[in-house]
Amino acid sequence: MNFTWEELSEAARAQAYADWQAGKGLIGGNPHQRPNSHLLPVWGVDQPFFRALAMDDARGNNGATLAALLATDRPVEVEIGFGRGDFLLDRARRHPQRLLVGYETKNKATRLMLQRIARYEISNLWVSDDDVRFNLPLVMEDGRLDAVHILFPDPWWKPQHHVKRLFSPPFVDLLAAKLQSGGLLHFKSDVQEYGELVRYLVEQHGAFLPHDPALAERVGPYAPTHREAWCQRHQRPVYAYYFVRQ
Ligand SMILES: C[S@@+](CC[C@H](N)C(=O)[O-])C[C@H]1O[C@@H](n2cnc3c(N)ncnc32)[C@H](O)[C@@H]1O
């Protein structure tokens, strides 16, 4: 399939902000309109699991525990769309001094990750099945993040699905707000044109330095995600981008 994009007109930019304000394109819909979204699911109580609207659910200590962890000066890294979780789990084990926070809207994948966190006795990894675009503004203080990893996000090929795509001007605003100065935005895709769209959106934002491949060393050794491993097996090129928050 062809992934095409063009520089945004003022009208397209305004539309992206209007859609964001209206909560359009949120995966799973708008949590404010979902029944019981102020409650944790039973399987998530007293687990390293959180939802933005259930931070105060008194049945579990989840919200208070995560808030206390975030209130320290421990480095925090986020992965958005962790899927099977291989990169995130490996990162948490490799860097026990950092706090890792993962977002994955697929409920089943999030529950599987909780099982792996318990099995490997990992204490520095928290996950949420909220759409990151909804959760991050409510849960994370500005300037708190040291790194954001976005690896092989869905391209959402069809025009009617573009509103679900992660990258848009308001999403780049969100990343710029939550990353601290010097923080890293790490992006990979096997769809080159999506990579180029991301590069355009990030570089024209003004808060980020241009893509610098040498910053790959800040990621260091890592376990590939499921998609990256698939690309490696099928000799399919991967396009990697690294941007620093100014
Ligand atoms: C194409 S998959 C890639 C998974 C994994 N990163 C990999 O490379 O194998 C993208 C994942 O992002 C998740 N996702 C999509 N939009 C999201 C959002 N707004 N917030 C959190 N997760 C999202 C999807 O559920 C899906 O599992």
176, 142 in Cβ contact below 8 A? no
What pLDDT is attached to residue 159?
Answer: 86
Average pLDDT (72-89) is 98
* Distance from the alpha carbon of residue 69 to the mean position of ligand 1, in angstroms: 25
The CATH number of domain 11-244 is 3.20.20.70: no
User: Taking 90 as the threshold, does the pLDDT of residue 167 lie above it?
Assistant: yes
Number of the ligand 1 atom closest to the C-alpha atom of 132: 20
Q: What is the pLDDT of residues 100-127, one digit of tens each?
A: 999 999 999 999 999 999 999 999 999 9
* Tokens at 96, concatenated: 């026990």
Helices 169-178 + 10-21 axis angle, to 10:
60
What pLDDT is attached to residue 2?
Answer: 85
Average pLDDT (45-66) is 96
Average pLDDT (127-153) is 98
Average pLDDT over the chain, rounded to an integer: 97
CB distance 190 to ligand 1 below 6 Å: no
User: Taking 80 as the threshold, does the pLDDT of residue 182 lie above it?
Assistant: yes
240: phi then psi, degrees, rounded to nearest 5: -115, 140
* Distance from the alpha carbon of residue 177 to the mean position of ligand 1, in angstroms: 21
Burial letters for 164-183: b for 16+ Cβ neighbours within 10 Å, e otherwise? Answer: ebbbbbebbebbbbbbeeeb
CB distance 83 to ligand 1 below 6 Å: yes
Q: Annotated catalytic sites, by residue?
A: 154
Q: Among 79, 105, 194, name the best residue to mutate to test ligand 1's pocket (greatest count of ligand atoms within 8 A of Cβ).
A: 105
Domain ranges of the chain: 11-244
Please name the residue whose Cα sits nearest to atom 18 of ligand 1: 131
Does residue 160 sit in helix, strand or coil?
Answer: helix
Please name the residue whose Cα sits nearest to atom 27 of ligand 1: 83
Please name the residue whose Cα sits nearest to atom 5 of ligand 1: 83
User: Taking 90 as the threshold, does the pLDDT of residue 1 lie above it?
Assistant: no
> Could you give the CA distance from residue 228 to residue 195 in angstroms, rounded to a whole number?
14
